[in-house]
Amino acid sequence: CCGLPALESGYDAEARKLARRNFEIFKEEEITSIITNSPCCYKMFSIDYPKILPDWNIESRNIWRMILSKLMEKPGLIRYNANEFEIAAYQDSCYLGRYCEIYNEPREILKLLGYSLKEIPDSGSEAICCGSCGGLPITNPRLADSIAKERIMQAKRIGINRIIVASLNDYELLKKNSEDTDVKISELGEI
């Protein structure tokens, strides 16, 4: 664990201890760069670890930026999916977007894969949370479910039948709350 759940729950000492132990392991293994597809871990490694650990010197890389870069270098690698030009929405992860300012890369990947994207109201840099961040599903599951259901209904109201996310936390919460709808929830990694 990167320690973000502990940090956000107010267990600062435990988060610092975990960060220090992780750093020691990375150093022992001579790791100089971390690649992650987890928005939570990317935020923790790239923003919080440098604050917690003054000697933190490990590069944190987001996989979606790397994938987009490779796809742009070699467009022949792209194989359009079976639902070419399906209309979908991308739900921004709070950690990836709001904290790390990664908005465009997942959208560009989806466009390259043949999706036609339609924005749910309050998307991109103005995105509202789907309810999965900050430990809300643990501390107030009823509120988290309510927020997720509203986000799904916003998509449905504008004719979107698929929401794509780049976070397993977002995926789990939205998937659970989409069961009584015809809105399909997908994770960017599976796309």
pLDDT digits (tens, 9 = 90+) for 3-59: 999 998 899 999 999 999 999 999 999 999 999 999 999 999 999 999 999 999 999
pLDDT at 81: 60
Instruction: Give every CB contact of residue 160 below 8 A, 6+ residues apart in sequence.
Output: 87, 88, 89, 118, 120, 183
**Are the beta carbons of 47 and 99 closer than 8 angstroms?**
yes
DSSP 98: I
pLDDT at 85: 61
pLDDT tens by residue, 107-154: 999 988 888 899 988 776 677 889 898 888 888 999 999 999 999 999
DSSP 128: P
pTM of the model: 0.88
DSSP 10: T
